[in-house]
Amino acid sequence: MSKRNKFFLSHLFISICIGLTVIGLIFLFWYPAPLAKAVGVTHISLMLLAIDVILGPVLGFIVFKEGKKTLKMDLTIIIALQLCALSYGLFNIYQGRPAWLVFQNDHFDLIRLNDAMDPKHIHDADWLKPQFKAVDMGQTPVEKNKYLVEEMQTGIPASYRIERYIPIDKSAAQLLKQKRDLQALKIFNKQDQVEKSVGRYPGAVGWLPLRVMTGIDMVVFIDKHGAILGIADLRPWKLS
């Protein structure tokens, strides 16, 4: 086998290994199912990886000529560009990942990492997986009114106020109070889809909507204690 073919195959093998690692990172941790579908990152991620994995080795194969004086420099530039493109794409995918799933009043909001305007709040996020949180809506009438006025004046929903996040288990009673009947899911979803999803969470006693800005809204299942069981790819209402 020629050196050209050996380099191409080794370059392709390494690129595929890196690509598979990146796919695992994106779809198992940053965007666990069904959140990848909810925010529409699947096609973008796979396109980025396909281009990066294929283009680098192909360019290397094209420029590889034994005895070429600038061969090392050419291959180094190609690999460097390949890594830069992958890093840039990964950075943007990471910045747009779901960092928090926040309960407010009667629903959850999906909040992306780049929704955190203050850098110190970015460090509050788990760097791997989305976190379920709730919003502190105020402990006294004065505080509740203050937060309500603030939200009306700024137009920023409370779920985006990262500094007011509290552990989700502190809102278990409110989750149970606001939960919706499982049968209601059959209004906007096929019966077999609902039964299949509910079957994955036999302890589910109700659900709440998960709103996704510029994405697909889904539902969150909860159990009899108000604990989160999981997210299902079901519609909470009719999508426009």
User: In the listed set 95, 126, 155, which residue is the last one of a domain according to the structure?
Assistant: 95
- Is residue 14 domain-resident? yes
Q: Verify that 52 and 134 share a domain, yes or no.
A: no
Q: Verify that 205 and 192 share a domain, yes or no.
A: yes
| pLDDT score at 238 | 82
| pLDDT score at 119 | 67
Distance of alpha carbon 31 from alpha carbon 128, whole angstroms: 9
pLDDT at 140 over 80: no
- Is residue 239 domain-resident? no
Q: Verify that 224 and 125 share a domain, yes or no.
A: yes
- Is residue 142 domain-resident? yes
Per the structure, the complete domain to which residue 149 belongs is given by: 98-232
Q: Verify that 7 and 124 share a domain, yes or no.
A: no
Q: Verify that 209 and 110 share a domain, yes or no.
A: yes
- Is residue 47 domain-resident? yes
Residues 109, 117 contacting (CB under 8 angstroms) = no
Segment among 203-207, 224-228, 236-240 with least mean pLDDT: 236-240
How many angstroms separate the first and last alpha carbons of the chain?
A: 58
- Is residue 78 domain-resident? yes
| Mean pLDDT (whole number) for 155-176 | 90
- Is residue 240 domain-resident? no
pLDDT at 24 over 80: yes
Q: Verify that 139 and 212 share a domain, yes or no.
A: yes
The edge-to-edge listing of strands for the beta sheet with 228-232 is: 165-167, 131-135, 98-104, 107-112, 204-211, 218-223, 228-232
Give the total number of structural domains in the chain. Answer: 2
Which pLDDT band, with edges at 50, 70 and 90, does 118 fall under? low
Q: Verify that 74 and 121 share a domain, yes or no.
A: no
pLDDT at 1 over 80: no
3-state secondary structure labels for all residues of 111-159: EEHHHCCCHHHHCCCCCCCCEEEEECCCCCHHHHHHHHHHHHHHCCCHH
User: In the listed set 95, 112, 147, which residue is the last one of a domain according to the structure?
Assistant: 95
User: In the listed set 74, 95, 116, which residue is the last one of a domain according to the structure?
Assistant: 95
Query: Higher model confidence: residue 217 or residue 155?
Result: 217
Q: Verify that 85 and 144 share a domain, yes or no.
A: no
CA dihedral sign, ordered 152, 154, 155, 159: negative
- Is residue 182 domain-resident? yes
| pLDDT score at 240 | 60
Residue (of 168, 167, 159, 181) closest to 227 by Cα position: 168
Q: Verify that 87 and 143 share a domain, yes or no.
A: no
Which pLDDT band, with edges at 50, 70 and 90, does 121 fall under? confident
Q: Verify that 120 and 71 share a domain, yes or no.
A: no
- Is residue 238 domain-resident? no
| pLDDT score at 117 | 63
Q: What percent of the chain has pLDDT over 90?
A: 63
Segment among 22-31, 59-68, 227-236 with least mean pLDDT: 59-68
Q: Verify that 225 and 129 share a domain, yes or no.
A: yes
Q: What is the pLDDT of residues 57-89, one digit of tens each?
A: 999 889 888 888 888 898 999 999 999 999 999
Amino acid at 226: G
Q: What is the pLDDT of residues 4-13, one digit of tens each?
A: 889 899 999 9
Q: Verify that 113 and 138 share a domain, yes or no.
A: yes
| pLDDT score at 233 | 96
